[in-house]
Each structure stands twice: as C-alpha cells, then as structure tokens.
Structure 1
Amino acid sequence: MMPQPTPAPRLCGACDGFPVVAVTTGTRHRDGSRVTRRLSCPACQGTSHTTPTCRRAVTGA
C-alpha cells in the first residue's frame, strides 16, 4: 500500500500566507531607530491558514 500525501493547509486568502507584518509609524526613537508596530491578519488571527467551515444540512419538515 502506498502512502497517501497529506493535503497542504489552506492559506488565508486575506493575507496570502504572510499573517504578521511590521509597519512603521513614521516617528523615531531617541536612538534614531523607527517605531514599528506588529499587526496580525484579522481573518486568520496570525496563523496564515484557514480551516474549512462546517456546513450544516437542514432536513425535515
């Protein structure tokens, strides 16, 4: 029996696999370095992948 390949995790469509970025604010510290903020993707919360959503089937009367 041949081993089955594992499926690749789905990349987040909002960040395309780059979940955390550093953005400069334009101001500088006293030593001359720039002030940066680390921001994570709001869609995947910084994990870079999404999980498929469960779908519910409504049956009955």
Structure 2
Amino acid sequence: MRAEEALDAVTSAATAVGVPAHDTTVLRVGENGVVLLPTAGVLARVVPRAAEGSDPGREIEAAA
C-alpha cells in the first residue's frame, strides 16, 4: 500500500461520515496503512482487501 492510497481511503471514509479529515497524517504504510486524524481523535487502519473470514465489526469492537 502507498501513502497516497491510505490517505485517499481515509479521507473518503471520513468525509462520508462527517469526520474532519483536513489534518490527516500517515503514520505507517506497508501491507496495511495507518493514518491519524488528530482533530477527530481517530486512528484508522487501511486494509487493501478484507481477508477471507475477517470480521470488521469484531475488529472495530476490539479497538474500541
């Protein structure tokens, strides 16, 4: 994953749900991307494609 892809994905998702994304910062890129949205208090993990058997709801619950 490239930094630009991670930023685009997070900005798009944040905008869709009304979360401020004007100050995003890429913290890490590799297989997944990690992006910080400091104003919103959000740390986002960007996964290029969900792995078979993954449960995004469970991952969100665990992160909370």
User: Which one has a larger percent strand, Structure 1 or Structure 2?
Assistant: 1
Give the TM-score taking structure 2 as reference length.
0.26
User: TM-score, normalized by length of structure 1?
Assistant: 0.26
**Which of the pair has the greater relative contact order for Cα pairs under 8 Å at 6+ separation?**
1
Structure of greater Rg: 1
